[in-house]
Amino acid sequence: MASQLNAGMSKKVAGIRLWEIIGITIGGLIMIILSILLYLCLTARKKSRRTTNNIPLSQIPSISKEIREIRVDQISQIGYGSYPDGVLEKIKEKDSDKLLVHPNIEKIQTGENKSHSGPFTRAEKDSIGSPMGDKPSSHPITAPSPLSGLPEFSRLGWGHWFTLRDLEVATDRFAKQNVIGEGGYGIVYRGELINGTPVAIKRLLNNLGQAEKEFRVEVEAIGHVRHKNLVRLLGYCIEGTHRLLVYEYVNNGNLEQWLHGAMRQHGNLTWDARMKVLIGTAKALAYLHEAIEPKVVHRDIKSSNILIDDEFNAKVSDFGLAKLLGAGKTHIATRVMGTFGYVAPEYANSGLLNEKSDVYSFGVVLLESITGRDPVDYARPQNEVNLVDWLKTMVGNRRAEEVVDPNMDNRPSTRALKRALLTALRCVDPDSEKRPKMGQVARMLESEEYPVPREDRRHRRSQAGENESPRLSV
């Protein structure tokens, strides 16, 4: 049988053995089948991609099961425990201030100020009263989230995680014409997300780990907090050595530009507009100092870091130098950082930092807004170079009316001017213990009862003695 089979297979058809024909046929069939399968796979993949790209934004779920976006009108309960393995270690340093993580935190909402759960909690009400002066609102905020319509994903447990490609598209590959600010920390670009939301994107410079430090500081300081007078941090990008932060875009310049720079071409700020910006700034600092734990010391309060929106609301920005001050700590020792002219004297001399350093810096900004002068101006006569010293001299010589910015169209009333000057002088008191808290500062600027009546001041002086700062007569 075997010999007959071999003989049959060895027969030639058109000069080719039969077994060779069978082998070629089988091989051809296999190749055809494989080609068909490959074609079907490629066709299915293309269809899948087209389907994914064509999904309307409205069909993308607004809240994923794993990650919840932190919106203005809601407070999530995601803390630092939400970090995936390895990410927290990346953004922490050995000498960094430790966050106080509270495992059981309730949602808290008071007026326009909302604290995020996790490492930040509202302080005891009895200790701070109502520093922001805002009344609770029964109407929820219904403004749409700037992140609505974006696929939701987060690596840090809050906000939105953007890829480097996302931010390249938003800024036209970080084009020079989109640069809106730059400094030692990095470059800020104006961008537009795929859902049309304008944003400010800070690209941190990777100088010997500085980008990592700046990234960590800003995330810890304001990544979890919400206040209408704080610039909102929407998200971030962690990709290779790249560290980028994505903020809401505030499109009406900053206080420095309105007082001294490019925005003056649009007109001079009125007294009421200046006070609105300053009161908003005071409330934001009161929130950081008195309403969350650990408290946040900004460390670089100056007019250029106070952004202004279309309605002239203040938006405090740039937390790259911020420090966290935990419960029970009166101060922290740190390298002196900040901007010349705004730094508190005790901090400059000793490196000991607490929230009273921010109070001093705010006082300088308040004087800057009243007078229209730079904190330090070497173009002026020697006795007028330092704004704080010059103003104390003017007040001591009863020439307070002469310090008002001459470019202001309508002068403030005498009472309003004295109220602002008294508040500023208390903020820049050389004795940090005598400076008020920012919650008190906000109330002083808002109150029509300040300065206090003459008889009340006499009673206080008899009890506490004369203050070192010059006083105004009312």
Which residue out of 166, 300, 318, 429 is catalytically annotated? 300
State the Cα–Cα distance between residues 412 and 430, nearest whole angstrom. 27
| 300 assigned to active site | yes
Among the listed residues 299, 269, 262, the one whose alpha carbon sits nearest the alpha carbon of residue 371:
269
Could you tell me the strand order of the sheet in which 226-227 lies? 108-110, 113-115, 226-227
State the Cα–Cα distance between residues 331 and 352, nearest whole angstrom. 6
Triad 336, 340, 346: Cα angle to 5° = 50
Q: How far apart are the first and last CA of the chain?
A: 129
Q: Are strands 295-297 and 323-325 parallel, antiparallel or unpaired?
A: antiparallel
Residues in the chain: 474
Q: What is the largest CA-CA distance in the chain?
A: 132
Q: For residue 157, what is the DSSP state?
A: S
State the Cα–Cα distance between residues 41 and 45, nearest whole angstrom. 6
Triad 146, 289, 318: Cα angle to 5° = 45
- CB-facing half-sphere around the CA of 336: CA atoms within 13 A: 13
CB neighbourhood size of 473 (10 A): 9
Per DSSP, the three-state class of 247 is strand
Centroid of chain to Cα 181: 15
Residue 135, annotated ligand binder? Answer: no
In whole angstroms, how far apart are CA 423 and each of 382, 414, 451, 466? 26, 14, 9, 16
Q: List beta partners, residue 333.
A: 352
State the Cα–Cα distance between residues 408 and 413, nearest whole angstrom. 13
Query: Which positions make up the binding site?
Result: 202
Instruction: List residues with catalytic annotation.
Output: 300
Query: Which positions make up the binding site for ATP?
Result: 202
